[in-house]
Amino acid sequence: MTLQLWTHCRAATLQPGAAQAYGLIDDAALVSDGETLAWVGPRADLPAALRARCSVQHDAGGALITPGLIDCHTHLVYGGDRANEFELRLNGASYEEIARAGGGIVSTVQATRAATAAQLTEQAQPRLARLMAEGVTTIEIKSGYGLALEHERKALSVARALGRGNPVTVRTTFLGAHATPPEFAGRSDDYLDEVLRMLPLLQAEGLVDAVDAFCERIGFSTAQTERVFRAARDLGLPVKLHAEQLSDSGGAQLAARYGALSCDHLEWLSAAGARAMAAAGTVAVLLPGAFYFLRETKLPPVALLREHQVPIAIATDSNPGSSPCTSLLLMLNMACTLFRLTPEEALAGVTRHAAAALGLPDRGVLAAGLRADFVLWGVARPAELSYAIGANPRIQTVFKGQIV
Regarding 321 and contact with ligand DI6 (CB under 6 A), the answer is: yes
Least distance to Fe ion, CB of residue 320, Å:
11
Regarding 289 and contact with ligand DI6 (CB under 6 A), the answer is: no
**Cβ closest to Fe ion, residue 134 vs residue 317:** 317
Residues 6+ apart with CB under 8 A from 227: 192, 196
Q: Per-residue x/- marks for ligand DI6, 81-120, CB under 6 A?
A: ------------------------x--x------------
Least distance to ligand DI6, CB of residue 322, Å:
3
Say if residue 370 is exposed, middle or buried (CB neighbours under 10 Å; 0-12, 13-18, 19+).
buried
**Cβ closest to ligand DI6, residue 146 vs residue 321:** 321
Name the residues that contact Fe ion, by CB under 5 A. 317
Among 174, 214, 258, 399, binds ligand DI6 (CB under 6 A): 214
Regarding 320 and contact with ligand DI6 (CB under 6 A), the answer is: yes
Q: Facing residues of 394 across strands?
A: 377
Selected range binding ligand DI6 among 266-274, 306-314, 320-328, 333-341, rule: CB under 6 A: 320-328
DSSP, collapsed to helix, strand or coil, labels residue 297 as coil
Selected range binding ligand DI6 among 57-65, 223-231, 302-310, 314-322, rule: CB under 6 A: 314-322
Judged by CB under 6 A, how many residues of this single chain contact ligand DI6? 11
**Cβ closest to Fe ion, residue 71 vs residue 317:** 317
Q: Residue 341: which H helix or E strand, with range?
A: none
Least distance to ligand DI6, CB of residue 63, Å:
36
User: What is the number of H-type helices and E-type strands within the chain?
Assistant: 16, 15
**Cβ closest to ligand DI6, residue 242 vs residue 371:** 242
Q: Facing residues of 240 across strands?
A: 262
Least distance to ligand DI6, CB of residue 12, Å:
31
The phi, psi pair for 340, rounded to 5°, reads: 65, 30
Among 153, 178, 227, 371, binds ligand DI6 (CB under 6 A): 178
The answer to whether residues 377 and 60 touch, using CB atoms and an 8 Å cutoff, is no
DSSP class of residue 319 equals B
Binder of residue 143, out of Fe ion, ligand DI6, none (CB less than 5 to 8 A by kind): none
**Cβ closest to ligand DI6, residue 55 vs residue 84:** 84
Least distance to ligand DI6, CB of residue 108, Å:
5
Least distance to ligand DI6, CB of residue 360, Å:
22
Least distance to Fe ion, CB of residue 7, Å:
40
Q: Facing residues of 63 across strands?
A: 9
Closest CA relative to residue 74, chosen from 149, 132, 118: 132
Per-position DSSP letters for 225-262, written without gaps between them: HHHHHHHHHHTT--BEEEESSSS--SHHHHHHHTT-SE
DSSP class of residue 337 equals H
Among 138, 249, 318, 319, binds ligand DI6 (CB under 6 A): 319
The answer to whether residues 289 and 325 touch, using CB atoms and an 8 Å cutoff, is yes
Among 111, 252, 290, 334, binds ligand DI6 (CB under 6 A): 290
Q: Answer left, alpha or beta for residue 331, where phi above 0 means left and psi between -120 and 50 means alpha.
A: alpha
Closest CA relative to residue 168, chosen from 205, 135, 191: 135
Give the span between the Cα atoms of 92 and 244, in whole angstroms.
Answer: 28
Q: Residue 204: which H helix or E strand, with range?
A: helix 188-204
Selected range binding ligand DI6 among 44-52, 120-128, 318-326, 332-340, rule: CB under 6 A: 318-326
Q: Contact positions toward ligand DI6, by CB under 6 A?
A: 105, 108, 178, 214, 242, 245, 290, 319-322
